[in-house]
Amino acid sequence: MKLFLQIFRLAVIVSTASCVVACSDDAKNHVKKAEDRAEQALDEATGAARSERDAYRRQLETRIDALNAKIQTTKQKTEKLSGKAKDDMQARLAKLEEKRDELNKKMGELQDKGSNAWAAAKSGIDKAVDDLESTYEDIKESFE
């Protein structure tokens, strides 16, 4: 999308430059209006992409927050265990928290990136969150 927008801008600039040399004032006004409409469309498209990315990020944060709450609850229950069962559960929860921290780090790195970076990373992030949730469910089942 970004490449398309850059090419589009370049085309508008080239057509404007050639028109400035050879066109009448009326034609120049039409070109200026077209440039303005193109710029407005670009701004709207960029805003829509940003809005979509922000909504996706909020959805991920909600899923991760829910998982964090579940982890905390399970950690509290784990404290009531003893011996090997407690050690095993704590180790599994620690691994889960490491995976979660890695995901949070990746999301933080993408925070300032553009829509293309988010789009490219989206499937990997979705898979990582699904994996975290699945791993938690496995831990929860073994706890019960």
Query: What are the residue ranges spanned by the domains of the chain?
Result: 2-143
State the DSSP code for 113.
S
Burial code of 3-27, b = ≥16 C-beta within 10 A, e = fewer?
Answer: eeeeeeeeebeeeeeeeeeeeeeee
* pLDDT tens-digit readout, 92-135: 999 999 999 998 888 887 777 777 777 788 888 889 989 989 99
Angle at 88 between CA 87 and CA 94, to 5 degrees: 90
* pLDDT tens-digit readout, 18-62: 555 555 666 667 666 666 666 666 666 666 667 777 888 888 889
**Which carries the bigger pLDDT value, residue 72 or residue 7?**
72
Residue pair 31/15 in contact (Cβ under 8 Å)? The answer is yes
What is the pTM for the complete model shown? 0.64
